[in-house]
Amino acid sequence: MHSIRCGKIFSCAAAAVLAWMMALLLAFPARYGKCVLDGLTLWALTVLPATLPFLFLAPLFTGLKAFSALSEKLSPLFCRIFRISGAGGCAALLSAISGYPVGAKTVGGLYACGKIGKEESFRVAAAATTTGPAFLVGAVGGGMFQSAAIGWLLFFCHLFGVWSVCFLLARRAAPPPRTVLSRKTVSVGDALSGAVTSALFVGGAIALFYVFGAMLCDLLPPLHPLAEGTVRGVLEMTAGCAALSAHVSPLSLALCCFLVTFGGLCVLTQQIALLGETVKPLPFLGVKFAQAAVAGALCFGLAFLL
């Protein structure tokens, strides 16, 4: 009975929020139409150049014999540190190089092909949902904060936060069973089609959550720039980082690192959709929050050294 009542309350609340959003879109079409355009511009200038090439190259690489050989070679190392297989570890490295959504899409593809086992899939997903240097150093550091050094600081703290929590998660986990990796080659056409589809999916998500962030900020009283950047970033991470970059300080860098590692609802929605059955949303959300807290705390301390 209690669960039915909670379900009705949630349904009514969701309906009210959706109705409020649609009412705002109808009442202020110019205002929020521009927000959609701003979100798409942000995606086109910062996210698309950093992700589209890797979205194309990643499925081609994971289908090669070299990927299977590398996975076998590195399997003992990844098993010892993260209790994941060589294929899962290579997906984590690929994510660190390429960033999301490449990592999440790679994990989902490897799981669907049987290259990642059910027992290790959550740990692999937690380790392989990172951003890459092209975005953090190029777009955020060099572009938004006008400093490549800041970008490298964010990237180091981000990876430390993600991988340290994954290391702790693995301490009570059993080693993954040894599996024989089967090759599943992907044609260039399929890789290109998948890359474009995924890139458009990411662009649409960024544009929508950018609008939702603007709606939320319009509803709230005037906020401090750091608070507004954090609110925007919890919904759409890229917009939050852009807002925080206007006030460079150890706190703004720490908040930016937290948002990048957590991902915000926009990135989390993309990741959960691409990961498919490899994760359950609530535990995954909890792990990403823990990773973000570690990354943000470390970044706050190290930012004083810049």
pLDDT tens column, 179-206: 655 556 778 888 899 999 999 999 999 9
Q: What's the chain's average pLDDT?
A: 90
pLDDT value, residue 178: 67
pLDDT value, residue 36: 93
Output the six-digit token pair for 212.
Answer: 């939702």
pLDDT value, residue 14: 84
64: pLDDT strictly greater than 90: no
Find, among 112, 292, 116, 99, the residue nearest to 198 by Cα: 99
Mean pLDDT computed over 13-38: 91
Q: Report the alpha-carbon distance of residue 136 to residue 119 in Å, rounded.
A: 31
70: pLDDT strictly greater than 80: yes
Instruction: Between 258 and 5, name the one with better pLDDT.
Output: 258
- CA-CA-CA-CA torsion for 122, 126, 128, 129, nearest 10 degrees? 120
Find, among 274, 269, 114, the residue nearest to 205 by Cα: 269
252: pLDDT strictly greater than 90: yes
4: pLDDT strictly greater than 80: no
Q: Report the alpha-carbon distance of residue 234 to residue 282 in Å, rounded.
A: 16
pLDDT value, residue 297: 97
101: pLDDT strictly greater than 90: no
Kind and range of the H or E element at 29?
A: helix 29-42
